[in-house]
Structure 1
Amino acid sequence: MSTLSTLLSALSAGDVELVDLTAPLSPDTPVLQLPAPFANTIPLSLEKVSDFDEAGPGWAWNDIHTGEHTGTHLDAPVHWITGRDGLSVDRIAPERLVGPVVVVDKTAEAQADPDFLLEPEHLQAWEAEHGRFPAGGWLFFRTGWSSRSGSQEEFLNADESGPHTPGISVAGARWLAENTEVSGYGVETVGIDAGAAGGFDPAFPAHHFLLGADKYGLTQLQNLHRLPVTGAVVVVAPLPVVGGTGSPARVLALVERS
């Protein structure tokens, strides 16, 4: 039996489970809000073209209106000034979008402190216990934040001082960019940086260091609690928008069940 036939048999038998890590995309999907004077992207809306009517008696379809960075989406290097000479989303090699995925779980810490930051010592402790982060793979930061995704207000968790969501520190982002060979970093929050990261130095360090190092970002992931710490495989499927700085993506994990 070929390798692919074996995989299909395992999927059919339930020995390998497909876990959807993608947030449903609708007009109610939370969208990042930048303060003035910065411009903001738009949420999803659908404009009807036809609906089994005179405009199209046998078919229904819509025009989609949304931004590249809405819902579960991929950040390409050209999204950030440090990666502006790098790859647009259509130029990312497919092999960089499929690979092993590991989970750093700080759910309890994020629940206790919504401004919790992932530091180099957390990443180093994970490697001491589980081994090196996988070359060509993905690191997903589990915080439990996706449980808030039904409400824009709860998801962004902002007050007069700004948004309060967990993320990675300046030192953590630099360490991940300079000391690992992962393809990308994924989070449950609205963006790959912490809510307070606009005030860091440099601002938005996950974007600054990771996209500048040809590593990619994934946001608004769900169901990370269904992944093992190691051993799963992730498939990231953004639209190959020519010249795009990112794209909404379907993200699936293959998990072997014993």
Structure 2
Amino acid sequence: MHDPNLLTAEGVDLIDLSIGLEDGVASEPEPPTIDHFGHEAGADRLAENLQAMGHDVDGEDFPGGMGLAWEDLEVIPHAGTHMDAPWHYGPEVDGEPAKTIDEVPLEWCRGSAVVLDFRWMDPGEEISVPDLEKALAELEHDLSPGEIVLIQTGADELWGTPEYLTQFPGMSAAGTKFLVEQGVRVIGTDAYGFDKPFTAMGERYAETGDESELWPAHFAGREVEYCQIEKMANLDALPRKTDVPIVAFPISIEDASGGWVRPVAFVEERESEGET
């Protein structure tokens, strides 16, 4: 086991496991729109606010003619690295009301992470229970309640390209239930989605007419309660695969199905430098 006090210890490296919001990026089907206002424009906008209050102020009256820079964003809460709440999957979980993102307990969102490597799988494949058991056995690790499981597909290397949307394996319904039934409340992936790609789901549904081909891992959340983090990154920067202290608190959005999150891992400096 590693030092449980890494969150406050000196000599600790922070590893950012997130992808931020980017204007018009090709890896988002609904990319954010970000309008930037520079300092001169900021002075004019601030002056307009004061003028609306009856004050005679112009943008050029600010020091150097500069005010405050800011941005206007048009973005869905499922853009960039984000956490899906149980409400995202359906209105109920096992007959009980599903939690929205502002109702997700913070205790679920911090703990020790386990990284399971599925970079060997082909895009469009489903990660099964035997696949998960094999990955855990290779790590000689038994899951404990409260651990956070991170699914590594390597898809984050494609971020910024259209291929990011299609080149990854996804979780199966049975695999999702398997993890949650062992006490896991949060499961993350470095891929665009938690399920197999939209194209793979559509093709399989068209071939079979089987509704279970449509978002099976998501809809497993109607039976077992969990949150998933999508579009993570930099899992290959972690110095180990188990006992990784991590915090991943989502932004609170009233009654929302998800919220942006910036997962951060805490590791000893000597480990991040390769001295294990």
Q: TM-score range by the shorter chain?
A: 0.7 to 0.9
Q: Which residue of 2 aligns with 1:144?
A: 154
- The yes-or-no answer on 1:55 pairing with 2:45 is yes
Is 1:220 matched up with 2:231?
yes
Structure 2 CA distance for aligned equivalents of residues 126 and 4 of structure 1: 24
CA shift, 1:62, in A, is: 1.8
2:136 & 2:245 partners in 1: Cα distance? 18
Aligned match of 2:242 in 215, 225, 230? 230
Return the TM-score normalized by structure 1. 0.80
Ranges in structure 2 where 5+ consecutive residues have no aligned partner? 47-65, 206-210
> 2:169 matched to 1:166?
yes
- For the structure 1 residues 175 and 244, does the alpha-carbon distance in structure 2 shift closer, same or farther, using more than 3 Å as the test? same
Identity %: 27
Q: 1:247 aligns with which of 259, 266, 275?
A: 259
What is residue 24 of structure 1 aligned with on the other side?
Answer: 20
Whether 1:100 and 2:88 are equivalent positions in the alignment is no
Q: Secondary structure at the match of 1:237?
A: coil
Per-residue deviation, residues 153-210 of structure 1 (Å, max 9, x unmatched)? 11113xxxxxx53111233223233x32111111111111111245361521221113
- TM-score relative to the length of structure 2: 0.76
Match of 1:210 in 2: 221
Q: Please identify the structure whose Cα radius of gyration is greater.
A: 2
1:75 corresponds to which letter in structure 2?
D
Residue 99 to residue 206, structure 1, CA distance change in 2 (3 Å): same
Q: In structure 2, how many angstroms separate the alpha carbons of the residues matched to 1:4 and 1:165?
A: 33
> Does 2:31 correspond to 1:43?
yes
Per the alignment, residue 99 of structure 2 pairs with: 87
Partner residue, 2:51: none
More off after superposition, 242-251 vs 55-64: 55-64
SS of 2:142's equivalent? coil
Distance (whole Å) between structure 1 residues aligned to residue 68 and residue 85 of structure 2: 35
CA shift, 1:251, in A, is: 1.1
Q: Partner of 2:40: helix, strand, or coil?
A: strand
Aligned residues: 233
Query: Could you say what secondary structure the match of 1:233 adopts?
Result: strand
Structure 1 residues 221, 86: CA separation in 2 closer, same or farther (over 3 Å shift)? same
Q: Deviations over 1:220-254 (max 9, x none)?
A: 11100122210201111211001111012111111
How far apart in 2 are the matches of 1:235 and 1:213?
22
Distance 2:225 2:183 in 1: 10
Deviations 1:96-131 (A, max 9, x none): 111110011011x23xx2123211112222333423
User: What is the alpha-carbon distance in structure 1 between the residues aligned to residue 99 and residue 213 of structure 2?
Assistant: 22
Q: Residues 76 and 211 of structure 1 are in contact (CA less than 8 Å); yes or no, is this contact kept in structure 2?
A: no
**Aligned-pair RMSD on alpha carbons?**
2.5
- Secondary structure of 1:244's match? coil
Name the structure 2 match of 1:191.
193
Say whether the 8 Å CA contact 1:71–1:220 is kept in structure 2: yes
In structure 2, what is the equivalent of residue 161 of structure 1? Answer: none
When structure 1 is superposed on structure 2, of 124-133 and 218-227 the one drifting more is 124-133
Separation (CA, whole Å) in 2 of partners of 1:143 and 1:172: 15
